[in-house]
Every structure is written in structure tokens, then in C-alpha cells.
Structure 1
Amino acid sequence: MGDLGRLLKESWSLVEENQDKVAGYFYARMFLSNPELRELFPVYLEAQRTRLLRAIVTAIQTIEDPDRFDSYLHALGRDHRKFHVEPEHFEVAGGALLEALRHYGGEQWSIEYDQAWADAYTVISTKMIAGAAADKNPPSWHAEVIAHERRAHDIAVFTVRPLQPLEFRAGQYLSIECPQYQPRLWRTYSPANAPRRDHTLDFHVRALGAGWVSGALVRRLAVGDMLRLAAPMGSMTLDRRSTRDTVFVAGGTGLAPVKSLLEELTRYNRTRWVHVFFGARTRDELYDLADLNRLAARYPWLSVVTACSDDPTFPGERGTISEVVARYGPWNEHDFFVSGSGAMVRSSLRTLAELQVPSIRIKYDTFTDY
């Protein structure tokens, strides 16, 4: 895969500055050639474009790691079942993607780049189709809201019960749709619990800006409402074979997957020290601190450090959560899990690199609520 990976990265650098336009062109070409496909997607495509670009970048980054590449694409294929995508749609999408890349690649776009993307897309689509075909689950799950609580002005914690069991691993994420409020708009959120016998799932959601789905989930969702959930994805999961002590770094509602992983650890951990760093702008946004403190009081191996970056009267640590992590340590023998906004994750990864934490020991997921 060496040459292919190099050609993909080289050619992507030609269009990277215009990646939003690439995504817009892709959807325009696809819907122009097959208008019936438009009905599978939401009215507003902004978030869909972002997810397409994330998928492309992840595929490029993982193509030289066969296990991770296969796992990611099989999961992506399963996830796309929620759109009722059929195998023949992949050919249409491949043609539209190549046209978009050629258009924005300009004069430097070569036949070699064209062939590399055609070859890569064939592999990608084959693995996605195989992942979808092998999935014996429904394309999506209907779930009833059984509890909903506002924890802050713009943060809600709610619980759903799927009508059919939904299997996932602690630390994974899945897409949610609110059919009654924002049909066909899917947004990704992490369950805040490890799998339970009653199959219920907790979610922590913050409404940001004009976020259609997050706003509905925080301000309009009520007990008795029905949601749709898609297949779980993500690899920010625990390795039970590891004996290293563990550090969780969470910003805002990025705490959700950390809570899920902590819950799994409470079921078997006896030997690993676990440190949770939980950061927000103000103390009101430390919306789940009471539960974290209860866990720390119950499990001697768990410690919790909180920080606020914009609250002068906060009695705990001050500054961004990555700054606070740097004050503790040393950390070069620990496993790290980082979860939060894009800016928070990037800042934390920079800090960990400066602290010489090996990247192979860091797992992370970036969350954007809209």
C-alpha cells in the first residue's frame, strides 16, 4: 500500500484548502446524475459534508494499517445502512468524488493521482459494502426516551431504551436522529454508560449555536419521544490486556465516553490507577461532577481533577484542561484517552506530545455537536 498511500496524501494536499468545496461539488454531481439519491440525505448538507471529509481523511490515514483500515470501513458501511444506501449507489458516489477531486486538483492533478483514487475507492467501497452485508442488525434502532434532565442552560442528560437490543462497546459513538423534530439529520454522540442488561443508554448533549439536532435534544426532547439510533462506531475502547495506569482527559460533554469507559473499569479493574481530568469554562458546565465524585469516593484507584478556564472564583484548578494535565505527571508510562471539542483535543494532543507521551498510547475522539 506504500505507493498508493503516498499518492493519496500527495494529491489530497492539492485540494485540502478547498475541501469544503470538494464536498459540495461531490454532492452536487451525485444528485445531478441521480436525483433520487437526494431523498436519502437531509435538507441541509453542512454536517454531511464534514462527515464525508472526515471519512476521506481517516481512510487516507489508515490505508497503510490494514487492521484499522478494515475495521473502520466495515463500521462505516454498517453505519451507512441508516441512509438505505444500496451497493449500486457506491459507483455513482465514486464517479462524483473523482470529478470533484479532478476539478479542484487543477493543473497539477495527474493520471497517477486519478488511478490512485480510483483504486483506493474500489477498495474502500468493497469493504464498506462487505461491512453492510455482514451486519445482521437492523439498519437503525427505534428508541424511547425514558428520562430527560437539564443539567445546565445548554446541557441535557437523557436516557433511551431501544426497542431491540443494541450492542456496543464502552467508548464508542453512534448517530442519533430526531424524526419528529429534524428528520434525516443525524449527529454523532457517545453513550455515557457501558452496556447494561436492560439495554438502556445515557447521552450527554450540549446545544451549540444554531445546532438543529443538539438544540432539539436539549430543549425539546421529552419523555415518551422516539429517536432513531444507528450502528456504533469508533475505536476509543479499553484494552483489557494493558496493565498501565490510565488518564482520561475530557472537555465538556466529551465526558460521556469517559463515563462509559469508567463504568467498564469499575466491573473488573483492581490494579490500575485511573486519573480523570474534567475541564469546562465555568463551574456550571461541570454538569456531572457530583456523579464523578461519588465514583471517586467508591473506588480507591480513581482520582478526579476538575478545571475551569473562565471562572475566576472556581476553587479548583484554573486554565484549560490540557494546561492542567501538564502540571501533573509524569505521564510517559500511562495510557491516555482524550475526548472533547476539536480545539480541546488538538490542544491536548500537542501537550501530550510535548510531555513525550508515545502517540501509540493515546486514543481520542473529536466531537462536534450541531
Structure 2
Amino acid sequence: MSDLQRLLKESWTLVEEHQEKLAGYFYARLFLRSPAIRDLFPVSMEVQRARLLGAIVTAVHTLENPERFDEYLRSLGRDHRKFHVDTEQYVVVGAALIESLRAFARDQWTVEYEQAWRDAYAVIASKMQGGALADTNPAWWHAEVVGHERRSRDIAVLTVKPLQQLNYRAGQYVSIEAPEHHPRVWRTYSMANAPREDGTMEFHVRALGAGWLSGALVRRIRVGEIIRLAAPMGTMVLDRRSDRDIVLVAGGTGLAPLRALLEELTTFNRTRWVHLFFGARDREDLYDLEYLQRLAQAYPWISLVPVCSHDREWGGEEGTVAAAVSRSGPWRAHDFFLSGSPPMIRSTLRVLTQLQVPYTRIKYDAFSDH
């Protein structure tokens, strides 16, 4: 670990337990320094509050993996083109970040910590701007809603067709905005299908309790409406050079990107066994089970294990999806792909650590809009 990484991690531990208050302070300082930036954000900041700060912290935590660090920031820069962010705004964000960290670390803040964050943020801003400048694609794509199907009490499958070609890889995600319902509210959703010849994209959306956009996408959006899609992001993609067998671990609508990976595998795979663990609270939340069962019947190399954690009538595997993974195996020679809520990701990572699965063979994207 370099001195920079050590200083960043040490200083973050000083403020980590105050993340929510830190985020609120950060945005207050940001808008005070540049009132015009406020127009880039939705009217309600309840969900947005920790997003920008969270992205910066995620970037800092990927410093140990230079390749992932570089790609994450360049894709983040491409994604932020939808906000038309300029150089001056990057400077303002950096100043608000340093000021917020200093305020919450109080007398434990040091000159060394401040310089480390200044250096790290300078690299972050540079790589994000580089990614944005190198991108020749639109800042966003308009897409028509061509299909909408309710699958459960709070889950819908949304099918859209971009009006211009949008290239992506199976396993990636995009930010979505529905301007007619909630302008300037962008949320990330994974494509649930591999790229298709007709360009259509499928999204699996759960209406969250306080989720303005998710509620609109599940309950109110109609076929024929136009939404906006930002640049594809994410590194949870297949390495076709690997000959290792694969384990896919999905929680709820976190199934979406893993379903896309399965679709891609059906186009070329002949030698790798694929084990899909699909976890949910009850049978109704296993909203795509019939499709997965048909896929497993068509391709003998797919092993499907559905799991329910809170359904007494369920006759299959019970408990958490992480526990189901731990009861199977051995897995040390497999490639893992994880997708679901942050608690589900954390519990599965703990199990894989106990099972001595090398961290370099585990892929997941850290966001929680599924």
C-alpha cells in the first residue's frame, strides 16, 4: 500500500461513521460556493445526498487496482456529460470535498491528510475529464418505451428502444431519467439482456419505498413515452479468455446484469459450467424464474438454484442466497459475478472469503438501485 493510499484510508476512518451528515454538509458547501450547480440536481436531495460523495469515495477505494481505478473514473466522466459539467465545477466540487472532510475530522485532520486528498482528487478530476473529452457519443440517448410488463406487486420489466445506436456490453448499466415524471432524477439500472440486433434494451425495476423514479417506472410510465439513457458504465463483463467455470449470484432484481451475461454465454459457450443462484424473499419475488428454467433446460451447462429467505410455502432452497452458495461448491477454481443489494453483496463476499475464493476472481458493481 502506498503512502497516498494509507493516508486516504486513515483519514476516511475519521469521518466514516458520519457519512450522512458529511454528505449533507458537502452539498451545502457546494451550493453555497456555486449556486448555479444546484440546478443540476433534483428538487429533492433525499436520495441524491450521498451519490456524488459516494462516487468519489468509491474511486478512492479503487486506487489499489490501477486498471479498475482508471476505467471507473473515465466511465464516470462519460456518464457525467449528461450534466454538462465544466472544469470550474470540478474545482468547486474538490474544494467542497476538502472543506467537508476537514470539518468532520476536526482536530484529527492533518496537513498530510489534506494534501493526500488534494492529490487524489486532482487525479480523479483529470481522469473523469479525460473520459468525457474522449467520448464522441451523445451526452445521453433518447429511448422510446416499447414494452412494460408488471411481474409482481412492485417489479416491472421495462423494454426500451434507443432512437440512436447505443453500444454496451452484457453486464453493464446506465443511468435513466424519465423527464415527464421526475426531471433531473437519474438512477442506475442494469441492462437485463445482451445486445440485440433490433437495439432494444430490457430493464428490471423494483419500486422502492421512497424511490420517485423507480415508482414511476413501475407504476406510471406508459408505452410510447420517451426516457433518457446516459453512457454505459460498469466492468462486470465476461472475460472470454477465461476457461474457468462461472458462478452467478443474484439478489432480487440484481438478476438483470447476470441474465444479460447468461444470454451472451448462450451465443458461444460450450465448455464452461455456469451455476446461477437466484435469491429473493418469497416465490413472487422470483419474478423471472420461468424464463431461467427454460434457459437451463435448453442449455445443460446451466445449473439453476432459486432460493427464498421468507417463504414457508416454498419447497426449494431456503435462507439467504449467500448461505446457499456456502452449502455448495467447492468454488475456489470459479469466476464469480455478484449483483444485488449492498447487504447481499457484503454477505456473499464474506462467504467467499471464508471459502478462500481469490478476490481477483470476483466481479461486482457497487451501486444499489436494483
- TM-score by length of structure 1 reads 0.97
Counterpart of 1:369 in structure 2 is: 369
The ranges of structure 1 where at least 4 consecutive aligned residues each deviate by more than 4 angstroms after the TM superposition are none
Question: Is 1:194 the counterpart of 2:185 in the alignment?
Answer: no
**Aligned counterparts of 1:346 and 1:194: Cα–Cα separation in 2:** 26
Q: Is the 8 A contact 1:340 1:366 kept in 2?
A: no
How far has the Cα of 1:49 moved from its partner?
2.6
**Aligned counterparts of 2:366 and 2:70: Cα–Cα separation in 1:** 21
Paired amino acid for 2:124: I
Structure 1, unmatched stretches of 5+, are: none
Counterpart of 1:219 in structure 2 is: 219
Q: Deviations over 1:62-116 (max 9, x none)?
A: 2232221111110111111111111221111111111111111100101111111
How far has the Cα of 1:173 moved from its partner?
1.0
Paired amino acid for 2:143: A
Q: Deviations over 1:285-307 (max 9, x none)?
A: 11001110111111111111111
Paired amino acid for 2:90: F
Question: Is 1:26 the counterpart of 2:30 in the alignment?
Answer: no
How far has the Cα of 1:367 moved from its partner?
4.3
Q: Is the 8 A contact 1:246 1:275 kept in 2?
A: yes
Paired amino acid for 2:49: R
Q: Deviations over 1:27-73 (max 9, x none)?
A: 11111121111111111223323222331222222223222111111
How far has the Cα of 1:253 moved from its partner?
0.3
Paired amino acid for 2:77: G
Paired amino acid for 1:101: L
Question: Is 1:338 the counterpart of 2:345 in the alignment?
Answer: no
Structure 2, unmatched stretches of 5+, are: none
1:1-370 alignment, distance < 5 Å: 2-369=2-369
**Aligned counterparts of 2:80 and 2:124: Cα–Cα separation in 1:** 13
Identity %: 65
RMSD: 1.2
How far has the Cα of 1:319 moved from its partner?
1.1
**Aligned counterparts of 1:292 and 1:114: Cα–Cα separation in 2:** 51
Paired amino acid for 1:155: I
**Aligned counterparts of 2:124 and 2:15: Cα–Cα separation in 1:** 20
**Aligned counterparts of 1:70 and 1:353: Cα–Cα separation in 2:** 26
**Aligned counterparts of 1:257 and 1:136: Cα–Cα separation in 2:** 25
Aligned length, in residue pairs: 370
**Aligned counterparts of 1:10 and 1:338: Cα–Cα separation in 2:** 28
Instruction: Say which SS state the counterpart of residue 248 (structure 1) adopts.
Output: strand
**Aligned counterparts of 1:163 and 1:87: Cα–Cα separation in 2:** 30
How far has the Cα of 1:26 moved from its partner?
1.5
Paired amino acid for 2:70: D
- TM-score by length of structure 2 reads 0.97
**Aligned counterparts of 2:94 and 2:72: Cα–Cα separation in 1:** 18
